[in-house]
Amino acid sequence: MKAKEKRKPKTILAGIDIGSSRVRVLLEDEGLVFDEPCVLAVDRKGQCLAIGEQAWQMRGLSDDEVRVIRPLENNVVNFPALDTFLEQLCLDTGIFRMFKKTVIALSYPTMLSSQDVQVLKEHLIHLGAEKVYFDQEILFSALGSRIDLYAPVASGIMNIGHENCEIAVYAKGQLIEKSGFSMNGQAVSRQITGWFHDQKRLLVSEETVESIKENLGGFIPVRRPKAMEIRGISLDTHNLESAVIDENQIAQVLEPILEQWAIWITAFLEALDPSDRQDIIMRGIVACGGCLKLRGLASSLSNLCGLPIYCTDEPSLTVIQGLSSLLQKAEL
Encode pLDDT of 23-67 as tens digits: 999 998 899 999 999 999 998 888 999 999 999 988 876 567 889
Q: What is the pLDDT of residue 172?
A: 94
Q: What is the pLDDT of residue 114?
A: 86
Shared domain for 167 and 284, answered yes or no, is: yes
Q: How many residues does the chain have?
A: 332
Q: Which residues of the chain have pLDDT under 50?
A: 1-7, 332
Q: What is the pLDDT of residue 76?
A: 84
Q: Is residue 159 part of a domain?
A: yes
Q: What is the pLDDT of residue 29?
A: 86
Q: Is residue 94 part of a domain?
A: yes
Shared domain for 132 and 231, answered yes or no, is: no
Q: Is residue 2 part of a domain?
A: no
Type of residue found at 105: A
DSSP classification of residue 291: G
CB 130 within 8 A of CB 101: yes
CB 16 within 8 A of CB 106: yes
Closest CA to 104 of 84, 128, 83: 128
Q: What is the pLDDT of residue 63?
A: 66
Q: How many CA atoms lie within 13 A of 189 on its CB side?
A: 18
Q: What is the pLDDT of residue 20?
A: 86
Q: Range of 122's domain?
A: 11-139+319-329
Q: Distance between CA atoms of 331 and 82, rounded to whole angstroms?
A: 28
Q: Distance between CA atoms of 86 and 43, rounded to whole angstroms?
A: 17
pTM value is 0.89
CB 51 within 8 A of CB 36: yes
Q: What is the pLDDT of residue 132?
A: 94
